[in-house]
Amino acid sequence: MVGNLYRTFTEKLRKPLVFGLFGGTGCLVAATILGEVWLWLTHRPPGREPQAVVLAIDTSSSMSGGKLSEVQMAASGFVDRQDLKVHELGVVEFASSARILTNLNAEESEVQQAIANLQTSGTTNLDQGLNAATSVLGNTNLGANILLFTDGQPNNKARARSIARQIRQAGINLVAVGTGDAKVNYLISLTGDRDLVFYANSGEIDNAFRAAERVIYGQQLVESDRSGDYGLIFGIFRIGVWTGWLALGTAIALIVGQNRTLRRRLLTRREGLVGGGGGFLAGFTGGAVGQFAFLPTVYLPALSLVARLTGWTLLGTLVGGGMSLFVPNLPRDKALMAGAIGGILGAIGFLLLDAVVGVVLGRLAGAAILGFCIGLAIAAIEQLNREAVLWVRWTESEFTTISLGKKPIEIGSAQTAHVYLPKDGGFPEKFARLFVEEGKVILEFDPAIQQLPKYQNMKIFRQELPNGSRRQFGTVSLEIQQKN
> Mean pLDDT per segment of 10 residues, for the chain of length 484 residues?
48 80 93 92 68 92 88 91 86 94 91 93 93 90 90 89 92 89 88 87 85 70 54 83 91 91 87 91 86 62 69 83 84 87 82 68 82 87 84 86 91 90 88 92 90 80 92 92 76
Integer CA distances (angstroms), 160 to 135, 209, 254, 402, 434, in order: 15, 22, 59, 70, 77
pLDDT at 202: 80
Opening angle at CA 311, ends 147 and 216, nearest 5: 15
| pTM, rounded to two decimals | 0.63
pLDDT at 47: 46
pLDDT at 357: 64
pLDDT at 46: 54
Strand order of the β-sheet with 476-482 is 399-404, 388-393, 476-482, 470-473
- The DSSP-derived string for 238-306 is HHHHHHHHHHHHHHHHHHHHHHHHTTS-S--HHHHHHHHHHHHHHHHHHHHHHHHHHHHHTTSHHHHHH
As beta bridge partners, residue 54 has 90, 146
pLDDT at 334: 86
* CA–CA gap between residue 376 and residue 25 (Å, rounded): 12
pLDDT at 3: 46
